[in-house]
Amino acid sequence: MKDSLPPGSTIGVLGGGQLGRMLTIASRRMGYRVLSWIGGPDTGPAGLADEVIEEPFDSADALALFLEKADVATVEFENIPLSLLEAVEGAIPLYPGSGAIATCQHREREKAFLSQNAFPCAHFHVIDSAPALASALPQLPTSGGILKTAEFGYDGKGQLPVSSTDSADSVWSRFDAPRAVLEEKINLAGELSVLVVRDLSGKIVTYDPVENIHRDHILDISRVPACLPEEVAQQAREVATGIAEALDYVGILAVEFFLSQSGDLLVNEMAPRPHNSGHHTIDACETSQFEQQLRCLIGAKPGSTRLHSPTMMLNLLGDVWGDADGKPPWDEILALPGSHLHLYGKAEARRGRKMGHVTFTGADADSVLATQTRAREILKIPELADH
């Protein structure tokens, strides 16, 4: 695609969750149509698209319709069959490309890519059998390790803590996957992420690093500016930029990091799409991560990533609905200063399911933190000791 796509063109999105919904909002604001192929029944978020294809991802008819109507394609969820990505890419532009998505969607390929390109990551072993696990377990540090499925893992799913003294036969028999990655467990001082944007010409911009705090393996809050030493923030930017270049990436890429107690910065994983930890960009930055994704798709230059106010993003899980008999007090949340409510339109609230988020902005970090704390009290979300 040498020339930029004009408004009125159709953006093809593979996936049907909230990330596609927010890309649709950005696209329609700028005059673009959205065709979402979601691979199954719509649970709510995809409904904002101009057209939704609910057929399975292995449907030849659905593929033909998608390719007929879409001018360019992207993903809002990385676990799309590689064969489908390659088929789309063979007919219309796909950003990011199938190779980059394939690397990020598979932990074994991801770890191999990081290791081969000298990007810092936790020590790991590829496991495909109980004997392979038996050989690797004794090499774990005293802190132990995490056994992770090679494919289809997110929000802590497909992960099992292990120690060097565990029975490999017992662990492998409980682990429901043919291949896995065994990583050493890191003694964490913190977790952070960097969103990097790379356009068709290779121009790169990065957002300010985001400090992330998780609860039950799901992102709970993100904070910007992050409470990090400047040298750590700069190293994170440089590594994220290097990864985007090594992948020949086009679009927005999220790189998640562990910061160890010893001060080492290690890449945890990459997401070839907008990211939960980048939702603050909608309300607190000059250009949102979703507009950046669209800009890359249509051949435009990246927008400014300037942060115009301190911010915190609070995830809203289905627990909030359950604890409020299905009727959370949104009026009280909206009465808080600098609050911005985003609900994803999902039909059913389940515990642990991401249903929305609230972004808080303010004149300074202390006031934003105080507002976030009050919101947790209103919504009965447990406060974190580490804030």
- The DSSP output letter for 209 is P
Distances (CA, A) of 127 to 7, 150, 170, 307, 362: 48, 9, 14, 42, 47
Count how many residues are written for the chain: 387
Please give the model's pTM, rounded to 2 decimal places: 0.94
Q: Where are the beta strands (DSSP E) in the chain?
A: 10-14, 33-37, 51-53, 72-75, 124-127, 145-149, 159-162, 180-184, 188-198, 204-206, 210-215, 218-224, 251-260, 265-271, 311-317, 339-343, 354-361
Give the residue from 79, 88, 320 showing the smallest Cα distance to 215: 320
d(CA 183, CA 30): 43
Instruction: Report the pLDDT value the prediction gives residue 17, as an integer from 0 to 100.
Output: 96
Dist. CA 288–CA 342, nearest whole Å: 14
Greatest CA separation found in the chain? 60
Fill in the amino acid letter for 105: Q
The tokens 């930890």 sit on which residue? 277
Nearest to 365 by CA among 305, 312, 314, 315: 312
Measure Cα distances from 202 to 256, 264, 292 in Å.
21, 29, 14
Q: What is the pLDDT of residue 387?
A: 47
Residues in contact with 79: Cβ distance below 8 Å, sequence separation at least 6, in sequence order: 105, 151, 152
Q: Report the pLDDT value the prediction gives residue 150, as an integer from 0 to 100.
A: 87
* Angle in degrees, 0-180, between the axes of helices 289-298 and 18-29, rounded to the nearest 10: 70
What is the set of domains in the chain, with CATH numbers? 10-94 (3.40.50.20), 123-184 (3.30.1490.20), 188-379 (3.30.470.20)
Contact 250, 72 (CB under 8 A): no
Question: What one-character-per-residue DSSP string does 231-286 give?
Answer: HHHHHHHHHHHHHHHHTT--EEEEEEEEEETTS-EEEEEEESS--GGGTTHHHHBS
Spatial distance between the Cα atoms of 212 and 279, rounded to a whole number of angstroms: 12
Q: Is 367 helix (H, G, I), strand (E, B) or coil?
A: helix
Question: What CA–CA distance (Å, rounded) separates 236 from 138?
Answer: 31
In this structure, how many other beta carbons lie within 10 angstroms of the beta carbon of residue 261? 10
Handedness of CA 289, 113, 268, 98 (dihedral sign): positive
Burial annotation 264-282 (CB, 10 A radius, 16+ → b, else e)? ebbbbbbbbbbbbbbbbbb
Q: For 187, which DSSP code?
A: -
Give, to the nearest 10 degrees, the angle between helix 60-69 and helix 82-89.
40
Instruction: Specify the pLDDT at position 217.
Output: 86
pLDDT block averages, 10 residues each, the chain of length 387: 86 97 98 98 93 98 98 96 98 98 95 97 94 95 92 72 94 90 95 98 98 93 96 98 98 98 96 98 98 98 98 97 94 98 95 96 97 97 72
